[in-house]
């Protein structure tokens, strides 16, 4: 049921850098036409960084790795698309329809295909108020069980970031700050949550990944701050997140639909500024992912002394 498309399969066989891309942001995360704009930007930025993009989705009873541009557009324009987490894969594959894969499902595909870098906007995490609801994203345990590095801008800002960071520590998942000593907060660059490990370039990140995977089998989070020019003001957005949570509660929205609802509510309240920031950080993370994938490929080829050490 795994279909690795020819360009990706050839790149993997030749030891060239490949970056997996989730597709739930395209099908359930961003409104049209910004969804397709973000997808095209990520694909282009990955290629500009010297890597082959491998967007993942469910289609025709297969977990497809490496959607071609025309299939990306078809996915964005389809009327009926399921949101597929790791728990939904069996049902989605058996149904034979279209599905946008979350980080957890995309990690499953990347692990099966042998891809070691995944780029996304923000991971799922522990939801605010989780002490009552026990609502924790499947992304976290899947990162813990899959030896893939997830390049992201931290967890989505609508989540409980301190508890998410604590959960990652409990699961044994290292979090590397890419050019930062703090966990990014998705829409803004600083959360006030200190990180224990920092890397400032792709070669150093690749060295850490390589050393980690020699002794451990968990994934790694590479946390990249959003571009400074796209950063939003936390003092303005945080009250809007609170408003969104109240609206979700009043509407009875929970589970997998909660995060898309919250993000859409905040996007409307900011006049679309959060969407602009989301596209900017998705694009940047694809470029960082490509750079790290390239450094890993050079290490495997034995041509990068600084990574080999």
| 114-162 tens-digit pLDDT | 999 999 999 999 988 766 556 799 999 999 999 999 999 999 888 999 9
Question: Among residues 7, 22, 73, 216, which one is catalytic?
Answer: 22
| 22-42 tens-digit pLDDT | 999 999 989 999 999 999 999
Does the annotation count 276 as an active-site position?
Answer: no
* 264 in Cβ contact with 31 (< 8 Å): yes
218 CB-near residues (< 8 Å, 6+ apart): 143, 144, 145, 146, 147, 171, 172, 173, 174, 212
Q: How confident is the model at residue 305 (pLDDT cuts 50, 70, 90)?
A: very low
CA distances from 22 to 71, 102, 252 (A): 14, 6, 27
Name the percent of the chain lying above pLDDT 90.
77
Q: Is the pLDDT of residue 307 over 70?
A: no
What is the model's pLDDT at position 272? 86
Residue at token pair 């995944």: 118
**Three-class DSSP category at 214:** helix
Q: What is the enclosing helix (H) or strand (E) of 39?
A: helix 34-48
175-178 and 220-223 beta bridge pairing = parallel
* 110 in Cβ contact with 149 (< 8 Å): no
Rounded Cα distance between 183 and 259, Å, is 20
The arithmetic mean of pLDDT across residues 46-54, rounded, is 98
Question: Two tokens at 206?
Answer: 């690749």
What is the model's pLDDT at position 131? 66
Domains of the chain, start order:
2-302 (3.40.1790.10)
Q: In DSSP terms, which residues pair with 151 in a beta bridge? A: 119, 222
The arithmetic mean of pLDDT across residues 279-288, rounded, is 97
Label each residue of 92-137 as H, E or C: HHHHCCCEEECHHHHHHHHHHHCCCEEECCCECCEECCHHHHCCEC
Does the annotation count 22 as an active-site position?
Answer: yes
Question: Among residues 7, 37, 73, 156, which one is catalytic?
Answer: 156
Task: Look at 245 and 224; give whichever has higher pLDDT.
Answer: 224
CA distances from 275 to 2, 108, 179 (A): 32, 27, 23
Quote the pTM value: 0.92
Q: Is the pLDDT of residue 308 over 80?
A: no
What is the model's pLDDT at position 309? 37
CA distances from 155 to 13, 229, 251 (A): 32, 20, 24
CA distances from 13 to 6, 37, 258 (A): 10, 30, 39
Task: Look at 157 and 278; give whichever has higher pLDDT.
Answer: 278
What is the model's pLDDT at position 267? 86
* 283 in Cβ contact with 41 (< 8 Å): yes
- Lowest average pLDDT, out of 171-175, 204-208, 224-228, 266-270, goes to 266-270
What is the model's pLDDT at position 81? 95
The arithmetic mean of pLDDT across residues 73-97, rounded, is 95
Question: Two tokens at 275?
Answer: 């969407």
* 16 in Cβ contact with 53 (< 8 Å): no
What is the model's pLDDT at position 303? 52
What is the model's pLDDT at position 132? 57
Q: What are the DSSP calls for 134-180, one per residue?
A: --B-THHHHHHHS--EEEESSB-TTB-HHHHHHHHHHTT--EEEES-
Q: In DSSP terms, which residues pair with 199 in a beta bridge? A: 178
Q: What is the enclosing helix (H) or strand (E) of 58?
A: strand 52-59
Name the percent of the chain lying above pLDDT 70.
95
| Residue of 293, 299, 298, 255 whose CA lies nearest to 118 | 293
| Residue of 306, 309, 166, 142 whose CA lies nearest to 217 | 142
What is the model's pLDDT at position 68? 96
């Amino acid at each position: 049921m795994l279909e690795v498309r020819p360009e990706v399969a050839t790149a993997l066989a030749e030891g060239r850098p490949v970056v997996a891309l989730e597709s739930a942001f395209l099908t359930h995360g961003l409104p049209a036409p910004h969804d397709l704009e973000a997808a095209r930007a990520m694909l282009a930025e990955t290629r500009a960084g010297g890597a082959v993009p491998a967007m993942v989705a469910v289609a025709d009873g297969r977990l497809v790795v490496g959607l071609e541009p025309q299939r990306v557009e078809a996915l964005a324009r389809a009327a009926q698309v399921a949101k597929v987490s790791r728990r939904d894969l069996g049902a989605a594959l058996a149904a034979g329809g279209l599905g946008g894969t979350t980080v957890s499902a995309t990690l499953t595909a990347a692990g099966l295909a042998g891809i070691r870098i995944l780029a996304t906007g923000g991971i799922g995490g522990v939801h605010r108020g989780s002490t009552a609801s026990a609502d924790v994203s499947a992304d976290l345990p899947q990162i813990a069980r899959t030896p893939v590095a997830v390049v992201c801008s931290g967890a989505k800002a609508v989540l409980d970031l301190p508890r998410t960071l604590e959960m990652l520590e409990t699961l044994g998942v290292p979090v590397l700050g890419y050019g930062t000593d703090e966990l990014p907060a998705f829409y803004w660059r600083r959360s006030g949550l200190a990180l224990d490990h920092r890397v400032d370039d792709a070669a150093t990140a690749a060295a850490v990944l390589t050393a980690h995977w020699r002794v451990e089998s968990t994934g790694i989070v590479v946390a990249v701050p959003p571009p400074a020019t796209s950063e939003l003001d936390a003092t303005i957005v945080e009250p809007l997140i609170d408003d969104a949570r109240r609206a979700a509660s009043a509407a009875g929205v929970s589970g997998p639909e909660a995060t898309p609802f919250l993000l859409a509510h905040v996007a409307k309240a900011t006049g679309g500024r959060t969407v602009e920031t989301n596209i900017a950080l998705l694009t940047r993370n694809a470029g960082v992912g490509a750079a790290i994938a390239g450094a890993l490929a050079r290490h495997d080829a034995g041509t990068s002394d600084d990574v080999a050490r």
